[in-house]
Amino acid sequence: MELDVLFIFGLFCLGLSLVTMADPVSASGKTGVIVVDLQGDFTTWKKGSLAVDGTDRAFVEKVQEATMTLSRKGCLVFGTQDWHPARHVSFFSNHPGKEPFETVEIQGRTQVLWPPHCVQGTENARVLVDNNLFLAIVKKGQDPRYDSYSGFRDDGGTKTEMDEILKRNGVTELIVYGIATDYCVKATAVDAARAGYRVTVVEDLCRGVAPESTTEAVEEMKKSGISVVKKLPL
Ligand code: VGL
Ligand code: ZN
């Protein structure tokens, strides 16, 4: 009888130690960085077609410096890259009679009609941060039928490789920043939080398309459990 109890207790201890040893990564995961859409077309520096206020050369250099610092400290750096075909649904020029920044309803979703931007293979679609810093740059918005503000999935629900790449690398925490706060940064950060990552967004390294939607975006991110900080938490 006592031997049985001892045996079961022994099995329990063995099981516990195996569980503890099995996966040290998930016990204390790594910190990843997602640099969102730091591309010429979104910057005033490169006279982009969809240039966002406050994206001069100094801003891009600040993002570059921060990303280098995080990389040096051991963070795993990832990027997103808006990468549209010329016939993309989000371009106003593909909707006869429409003007830039008008909206249309497509399959029950509101689509903002943007100036053509980040067309695959063009100079201003390049990521401006040193590409050597990235473990991977995830392209998005390649399907002409769907926009994709989020780095995790497009408006049609098709997932990118982002979640799989982060998981494969043992990432559980994410620092997110880039352009634009009210569109791709928000969508990427909110999807990351939904996917279970602990997310921090750094406002100082983000720029928004419009002040009002940027303020709203910050509120929405906070409501999604995202920690929004002014400066880098390092
Ligand atoms: C973005 C509008 C259209 C962004 C991308 O990067 O925030 N905004 N495409
Ligand atoms: Zn786009």
Structural tokens at position 56: 């001069």
| Average pLDDT of span 85-106 | 98
Ligand nearest to the CA of 142: 2
pLDDT at 23: 40
Share of the chain above pLDDT 90, in %: 87
Report the pLDDT averaged over residues 143-152: 98
| Model pLDDT for residues 103-125, shown as the tens digit of each residue | 999 999 999 999 999 999 999 99
Statement: the pTM of the whole predicted model exceeds 0.95:
no
Residue 215 in this model has a pLDDT that exceeds 50: yes
Whether ligand 1 lies within 6 angstroms of the CB of 183 is answered as yes
| 37 in active site | yes
In whole angstroms, give the CA distance from residue 80 to residue 39: 9
Residue 11 has a pLDDT of 47
Q: What gap in Å lies between CA 186 and CA 50, rounded to an integer? A: 17
pLDDT tens for each residue of 39-71:
999 999 999 999 999 999 999 999 999 999 999
Beta-sheet strands, E only, within the chain: 30-36, 76-82, 103-106, 109-112, 136-140, 171-178, 198-202, 227-229
Gap between the Cα atoms of 192 and 165, Å rounded? 13
Write down the pLDDT at residue 24: 38
- Class of domain 32-85+118-229 as given by CATH: alpha beta
pLDDT band with cut points at 50, 70 and 90 for residue 5: low
From 196, 201, 199, select the one nearest 185 (Cα to Cα).
201
Q: Which residues line ion ligand 2, judged by CB < 5 Å?
A: 82
Is 51 close to ligand 1, i.e. is its CB under 6 Å away?
Answer: no
Is a pLDDT exceeding 50 seen at residue 18? no
Contact (Cβ atoms closer than 8 angstroms) between residue 149 and residue 181: no
Q: Chain-wide mean pLDDT for the chain?
A: 91
C-alpha 183 to ligand 1 mean position (Å): 6
Ligand 1 site-directed mutation target among 36, 101, 179, 213, most atoms within 8 Å of CB = 179
Where in the chain are the domains? 32-85+118-229
Give pLDDT, residue 176.
98
